[in-house]
Amino acid sequence: MSGRWMRWLPRIPLLAALAAAAGCDLTMTLDPVRYEDLGTTERAAVDRIFARVQGLDARLRSVTSGRHTLGVPATDHDAIDVSVVDLWVMVNVGDDRLHLSVWENLTAEQRQRFAGWFGETTAAAAERYRRFFYDFVALHLAGMQAVFAIQGVDWVYRNRSLFNLDRDAERLVSTYLAAADTNLLAWARGTCGTIRGALEARFGAWYSREEYLAHVRELTDPRDPSGQIYMICRHLAEAETRRVTFGSNFATEVDILASQHSDVLP
C-alpha cells in the first residue's frame, strides 16, 4: 500500500474495514489504471459515471455561485477508478477519487447475489446493475464528494460519522434527481425497494449511527457489500420522506451542510 493511503487509514473507518477484509490486495489503493489504458467496457462505464458526476457538479456550482465544486472527479476521467477486480466496491474517501466496481469485474458469485435480489438471471441483471451503480450509486459517491467539498475533508473526518456522511449524500441525490431526472429517481426508488425487501431482515436493525459503526466491517465487506447497498437504499427512502414532508430542495440541503461547518458535532 502506498504511503499516501496508509496516511489516511487511521482516519477512515470505511477504508480500514476494506483493508482488513481484503488485506493489501486492493488495486484501488495502489495504482488505479488510467482511463486511456482501460478496456472498452470499463471506459464506457467511466464515461457514464463521469457524466453523472458532471451533472451534479454543475448543479452544485449553480446553487453556490461557484463557491463549491466537486473538483477533480468532475474534470478528470482518471479520477473514476473502475479497475478493481473481484471486489465489489463503492467508495469515496475524500481523496478526489471515486471507486466503483463494474459488472464485468465482479466474481460470478457477486453477480449471482445481485441478480438473486430481483429473481433474475445474471444476464438479465447486468443492465440493471449498470443503471443502479453507474447512474444512481455514482451520484451517491458524487454526493459524498459534495459533502467533502462543502465541509472540508479534514472537518468531515473529525466531526461526522460514516452513517451521517452517507445520509447527507443521499439527501443531496434525492433533491438533485427530483429536479434533474425524475425517471431515474423513480426507478431507483423501485429498485431500492426490492433490495430493502430482500435485505431488511439481515440489516434493518443496524440502521443507526451507532449500529453502523459497530458493524462497519460486515457492512462494507468488499466481497459482499450487501449491507452497504442496503444502507444507501434506506438512506434514499428516508431522504425522499424528508424531501416530500419538508419540501426540501438541493440548495436547501447545501445550505444546511454549510451551516453545520463548526466545531460542534452535527
pLDDT tens string 16-37: 443 443 333 444 444 689 999 9
Q: Is the pLDDT of residue 250 over 70?
A: yes
Question: Up-side HSE of residue 216: CA atoms within 13 Å toward CB?
Answer: 17
- CB atoms inside a 10 Å sphere around CB 67: 12
Q: Is the pLDDT of residue 7 over 50?
A: no
What is the rounded CA–CA span in Å between residue 109 and residue 96? 30
Least confident of 13-17, 87-91, 132-136, 241-245: 13-17
pTM of the model: 0.90
What is the rounded CA–CA span in Å between residue 178 and residue 29? 34
Per-residue pLDDT, averaged over 45-53, amounts to 99
Per-residue pLDDT, averaged over 241-252, amounts to 98
Tell me what pLDDT residue 31 has: 66
186-241 tens-digit pLDDT: 999 999 999 999 999 999 999 999 999 999 999 999 999 999 999 999 999 999 99
Q: Is the pLDDT of residue 127 over 60?
A: yes
Angle at 254 between CA 45 and CA 184, to 5 degrees: 35
* 3-class secondary-structure state, position 99: strand
Per-residue pLDDT, averaged over 121-149, amounts to 98
Q: Residue 80: beta bridge partners?
A: 98
Q: Is the pLDDT of residue 12 over 80?
A: no
Percent of the chain with pLDDT over 70: 86
Tell me what pLDDT residue 63 has: 98
Tell me what pLDDT residue 25 has: 42
- Mean pLDDT of all residues in the chain? 89
Tell me what pLDDT residue 17 has: 41
Per-residue pLDDT, averaged over 121-141, amounts to 98
Q: Between the CA of residue 74 and those of 49, 93, 178, what are the distances in Å?
A: 10, 16, 21
Backbone CA torsion sign across 193, 216, 240, 50? negative
